[in-house]
A and B are shown apart, each in its own frame.
Chain A
Amino acid sequence: QSVLTQPPSVSAAPGQKVTISCSGSSSNIGNNYVSWYQQLPGTAPKLLIYDNNKRPSGIPDRFSGSKSGTSATLGITGLQTGDEADYYCGTWDTSLSADVFGTGTKVTVL
C-alpha cells in the first residue's frame, strides 16, 4: 500500500494533453522534491522529471512537472502513441525515512 496516490489510468487522443496527479502528505510531497518516471512495456523505468519540475537532458519539453502543497502533477502535451506507458511519481518520506513510489498511472493514447 503506497503512501502516494495516483489515478489508475488516463487517456486522450493523439495531440491532446493529459495530466497525472500524485497525492501525498506533509511528510513526503509537502516537504520534499518529487520525481516522475516513465515505464514503457517490458523495460526499466526512465527518469522524466526531477526536483518537481526539471527535465533531464534528452527529455522533450512536452513533459512537465509541478507541485503544490501535498500534491504533484505530471503533464504531457502533444500526446503521441509512443507515450503509452506506466508513469510513477516518487519522493522521500521523512516520517518513514524511506523513498516512496506512487501507485502508478497507465496512459492510453486513443
Chain B
Amino acid sequence: QLQLQESGPGLVKPSETLSLTCTVSGASISSSSYYWGWIRQPPGMGLEWIGIIYYSGRTYYNPSLKSRVTISVDTSKNQFSLKLSSVTAADTAVYYCATRKYSSFLLDFWGQGTLVSVSS
C-alpha cells in the first residue's frame, strides 16, 4: 500500500523559507503513473493546491504562489520536497503531500499532514 509521510519544521520565522519533505513508501517515485503534489489548508479554511512534480522534474505550480514555490524530487531517497520562500503569517497551514494521477486530477493517496506555523 502506498504511503506518504510529511516531515519538516513546525515553526518558521517570517521572511524565511519553509522546507518540507514527503517520504514515499510502497511505490517508486519514478513511477510514470503519478505526479507528486503538495496541498495546504490554513486553519479553518479550504484546500489550496500548491503544485505537482513528475519524476522527470516537470512541474506545475499554483499561479498565485509560483514566484515563491519550488518542488523537487530526490529519486535516490524516494522523496519529494517543497520550498516556499519569503513566508508570512498567511502561509500558516497544514501542509499535505499527495499522489496525483498522471492522466487526471485524482489525488488518491495523502499524507497525514503537518502543521507549519509562521511566527517570530
Specify which of A2, A44, A51, A56 is in contact with B110 (CB 8 Å cutoff).
Answer: A44
Tell me whether A51 and B104 are in contact in the complex, defined as CB-CB below 8 angstroms, given that A44-B96, A88-B46 are known contacts. yes
- Interface size class for chain B? 20 to 34
Does B22 have its Cβ within 8 Å of any Cβ on chain A?
no
A101 and B48 within 8 A (CB): yes
- Interface size class for chain A? 20 to 34
Interface digits, B60-92 against A, CB 8 Å rule (1 contact, 0 not)? Answer: 111100000000000000000000000000000
Min CB–CB distance B100 → chain A (angstroms): 7
A35 and B49 alpha carbons, distance in the complex (Å):
14
Min CB–CB distance A42 → chain B (angstroms): 9
Min CB–CB distance B63 → chain A (angstroms): 6
A-B contact pairs, 8 of them (CB 8 A): A45-B47, A45-B96, A45-B107, A47-B108, A50-B104, A50-B106, A92-B105, A99-B100
Query: Which positions in B face A, CB cutoff 8 Å?
Result: 37, 39, 46-49, 51-52, 60-63, 96, 100-101, 104-108, 110-113
Query: Which positions in A face B, CB cutoff 8 Å?
Result: 2, 32-35, 37, 39, 44-47, 50-51, 56, 86, 88, 90-92, 96-104
What 11 new A-B contacts, CB under 8 Å, besides A47-B106, A51-B106, A98-B60? A2-B46, A33-B104, A37-B47, A37-B107, A44-B113, A45-B107, A97-B60, A98-B62, A99-B60, A99-B105, A100-B49
